[in-house]
Amino acid sequence: MSGAPLPAHEYARLLDLAHYEILDTPPEAVFDRITRLAARLLDTPVAFINFVDQHRQWSKATCGPGNTTAPRRDSVCAWTILSPEPMVIENAHADPRFAHNPMVTGEPHIHMYAGAPLITPAGHRIGTLCVTDHQPHPLTPDDLQALQDLATLVVGELELRVRNLELARELNAQQLRVAELQRRLGHAQVLEGVTALMDLDLTPEEMTLNASALLAEALSADHIGLLIFSETELRVEAAHFNPQLPREVTDLPTQLPHWPDSVTWTLKGLDRPFYIDDYPAHPGALKNVVEGGITQIGWLPLGTRHGVTSLLMASRHSSNPVHHWRSSDRALLEAAGRSVRGALGRRLEAELSREAARRDALTGLLNRRALEQDLHQRERSGVPFVLAGLDLDGLKAVNDTEGHAQGDRLLQVFSSTLKVALGKAGEVYRLGGDEFVVLEDLDGDAVLEAVDVAVLAARQVGALRGASVGIAHSHEGAAEALLALADERMYAVKRRRQAARQHAHAELELR
């Protein structure tokens, strides 16, 4: 036994069948009714609606026992679709094409078969409406006309069905467009709110945290955080979490020692947004992040400033109903990122400008303005400190004999050495000329030792005699009074040194 030959234009026929999207669909009442009507009109125990696919015969509707889904080589309907007219087999056991067909020899076996092809408006025969009986069953011309009429009805229902599918898709597409428009309008309001935040007097962390809270709701994101890269580490500066997330997810940022092996670490040099819709499938996915249920992540570069790179990272959990980064999500995230990036840049410029206004141009030390600000801040903190006023001895002579350029170099060497010698415990200010002030946590002796080291370094540049130092403690007065007291004690030291030098000079002359 061999299967039926292929009809003409087989692949066009298969495309027409695919157009109806009927294969492998669940039962539908309208087609079941037609098979029942066919069995009733032709008085047969069985009726089927079958479709002939590339490699099989598939049954959409059945009335009566049996299942006619089968390989195409065993399909009786594959012979029916070779002609536009109904095919009738009065005795399948006597027909050499079907005598050994499993559908004929099996149970319940087929003795009589009659099928009308399902002919589409394009003229392709994609299947059949057929009836069978397990015993002889003569059919009249009226029976065959009824079978053809019902087959035409099947095609009409197929056409109606596909039109309904198209309309449903169009309606769904329209609903999606409306939803997308509403989402974009909402996103515009969120972006306006984010931009307004950038104009407030907030720290970068506060700005990002508040912006993240706004963005998280608009993007249906479960986490948004500001990531900071330095040369050797990655840390989370600010983060907003969905409070409904499980603890193992909210604890992920604390597991940063494992992050150098992550996708995030490889994005340190990212210069454009990067999105992953299926994080668990990514080769760089971390096991603990996958186990935490994170499925989508997006990274947005915020730039590199003074060696520090920052990224905005948004993620979604597997419980999130949104399963991919939509175009509107990306547009909002990237627009908000530009706003945050611009605000961070403006803030950095302002900080640099403020810092420059606090610095002495020659030495790089803090200046008088910075001293006034820091002194009041220390007083407000209530933490004890030491204020030391100091004046270089002999700088004028260096300027007069070796030139002001050499004097400037001496000041630079003295300043940098004093700053290094004090370390983090103290801060050095240049008030002008050869006058300096040191604010130190507690130890006045440490100031004196650091000054001695700085004087020794400065003497390698010019003939500096030394430095006079006056020390006052924070409990001895307020800001201006404390400066005046240290100044008074410094000049007392300077006078004693001058007197000692004059006495030594007089003794030399007497000799």
Residue spans of the domains in the chain: they are 10-164, 199-354, 368-510
Cα dist. 486→311, 319, 393, 465, 468 in Å? 48, 66, 17, 21, 11
Write down the pLDDT at residue 1. Answer: 54
E strands present in 74-200? 87-89, 112-119, 125-133
Cβ-contact 149, 86 below 8 angstroms: no
The tokens describing 9, both together, are 């234009």
Write down the pLDDT at residue 159. Answer: 94
**Would you say the CATH fold of 199-354 matches that of 10-164?**
yes
* CA dihedral sign of residues 244, 246, 249, 255: positive
Give kind and range of the element (H or E) at residue 452: helix 444-458
Burial 209-239 (b: 16+ CB within 10 A, else e): bbbbebbbebbebbbbbbbbbeeeebebebb
Length of the chain: 511
What is the domain class of 10-164 according to CATH? alpha beta
CATH superfamily of 199-354: GAF domain (3.30.450.40)
Write down the pLDDT at residue 225. Answer: 79
Neighbours of 493 (CB within 10 A): 19
Fold of 368-510: Alpha-Beta Plaits (3.30.70)
The one-digit pLDDT tens for each residue of the chain (511 residues) are 578 999 989 999 999 999 899 999 999 999 999 999 999 999 999 999 999 999 999 999 999 987 888 999 999 999 999 999 999 999 999 999 998 888 888 887 899 999 999 999 999 999 999 999 999 999 999 999 999 999 999 999 999 999 998 888 877 777 767 666 666 666 677 677 777 777 777 776 677 777 777 877 778 888 887 777 776 677 776 677 777 777 766 666 665 555 566 777 777 778 888 899 999 998 888 887 888 888 998 888 887 776 778 888 888 888 888 888 888 888 888 887 777 777 777 776 776 677 778 888 888 889 988 888 888 888 888 888 889 999 888 888 888 888 888 888 989 899 999 998 888 878 899 988 889 999 987 677 888 889 999 999 888 888 888 888 999 988 888 878 889 999 999 898 888 887 777 766 666 665 5
Q: Give the SS3 label for residue 24.
A: coil
First to last CA, the chain: 141
